[in-house]
Structure 1
Amino acid sequence: MIYKIRVFLDAKEDVFRDIEIKEKQTLFTLYKGIISAFSLQGEELASFYNLDEEGNQGKEIPLEDMSDDGTDETMADFYIKEAFAEVGDRMMFVYDFFEMWTFVAELIAIEDKPAVLNYPLTVYRFGSMPLKAPKKDIVVDLDEDDDMDFDNDSDLNDLQIDDDMDVEDL
């Protein structure tokens, strides 16, 4: 089976690519396809994130295993047919955690056709990539329970200065 995945750049203007990939290829292969389709350098860390129906971010699937013992799962551990079980399934893809290129990948079709070329294959391009990652508006929502009391500086009193340090040493 060939999976057709539409990958949208999270930007004001519509920018997306349709990528075809085999069901038994991995998320790592899709990562390479996204890098190629959007002309990214491919030298930065990246992760996929599961998305639920409301678009809430779930489990992270990183490019590389960052655990101390080397036992975490990576993109190479997940087949496309596992990550995208049915049409409409979506995942967030973040590339370069400094620039924060953010994409949403959505399975738009599963086709029973013979593989013709090397996959992944970019089959449709729409829109031009911006030179810089689109900036995100960050919204901070403080519930009443989470409000900090800046009039009460008792938490700041926990800081201690080393008594042995002389001002002259600075």
Structure 2
Amino acid sequence: MIYRFRVILDNDTKDDIFRDLEIKQTDTLEDLHNIITQSFGFDGSEMASFYLSNDLWEQGEEISLFDLSENGSARLMHETSLDSVVHREQTKLIYVYDFLSLWTFYVELAEIVEETEGHDYPNLLFVQGQVPDQAPEKLFEADQENNFDEFEDGLDLDDYDNLDFDENWN
């Protein structure tokens, strides 16, 4: 079977930027990573991870390109087949490329179809929009609140004389 995905760049512009891809269900997440990076014009040399997601696009379990965990227990893309994490009941993934720039993509299984004889997979079906030169800036919840003040308690952390703390506590 063939999985057809829509991969949407998370951006705050008015322009929709997405790619429609098709890939064999038995291919790995690393294969999906490769076609996503190629279809958006990245060289694929940066760190990346997929995250399982629910219908509200909440980030779940991480599946990474390389194991950087201390105990070697990370779930890896090259060991994870698409059909083991994506199916009719679980259709959404979040993909983050380049952890310094945080290119973030919403990956959704749109359709499952029969393999077409004579077609090569993975396959880029459709392109919409131009990728910006830099990753869209991420706004965090605290940044979105106009009244957020990280110093709202009124403490001056440079005024050591008036802080209630004993420097010889030990």
Alignment RMSD, CA only? 2.6
Assess if the C-alpha contact under 8 Å between 2:37 and 2:44 holds in 1. yes
Instruction: Indicate the SS of the match to 2:34.
Output: helix
Q: In the TM superposition, what is the alpha-carbon distance from 1:41 to its structure 2 partner? A: 1.8
Structure 2 unaligned residues grouped into runs of 5+: 146-150, 156-161
Assess if the C-alpha contact under 8 Å between 1:87 and 1:107 holds in 2. no
Corresponding residue to 1:100 among 90, 102, 108: 102
Q: Give CA deviations for 1:10-35 in whole Å, capped at 9, x if unaligned.
A: 11220000110001001010000101
Q: In the TM superposition, what is the alpha-carbon distance from 1:92 to its structure 2 partner? A: 0.6
Which amino acid letter does the alignment assign opposite residue 80 of structure 1?
L
Closer, same or farther: CA 68–137 of 1 in aligned 2, 3 Å? closer
Partner of residue 47, structure 1: 49
Closer, same or farther: CA 118–72 of 1 in aligned 2, 3 Å? same
Structure 1 unaligned residues grouped into runs of 5+: 161-170
Assess if the C-alpha contact under 8 Å between 2:50 and 2:94 holds in 1. yes
Q: Give CA deviations for 1:32-78 in whole Å, capped at 9, x if unaligned.
A: 01011000121110001111122211111111111234332111122
Moved more, 41-50 or 74-83: 74-83
Partner of residue 129, structure 1: 131
Corresponding residue to 1:120 among 108, 122, 132: 122
Counterpart CA distance in 1 for 2:154 and 2:40 is: 46
Counterpart CA distance in 2 for 1:154 and 1:77 is: 53
Assess if the C-alpha contact under 8 Å between 2:63 and 2:74 holds in 1. no
- The answer on 1:33 being equivalent to 2:41 is no
Counterpart CA distance in 2 for 1:54 and 1:140 is: 20
Assess if the C-alpha contact under 8 Å between 2:29 and 2:78 holds in 1. yes
Assess if the C-alpha contact under 8 Å between 1:87 and 1:110 holds in 2. no
Closer, same or farther: CA 154–128 of 1 in aligned 2, 3 Å? same
Partner of residue 163, structure 2: 153
Tell me the matched-pair count. Answer: 156
Assess if the C-alpha contact under 8 Å between 1:47 and 1:94 holds in 2. yes
Counterpart CA distance in 1 for 2:128 and 2:91 is: 21
Counterpart CA distance in 2 for 1:39 and 1:75 is: 20
Identity of aligned residues (%): 35
Moved more, 95-104 or 69-78: 69-78
Instruction: Indicate the SS of the match to 1:28.
Output: helix
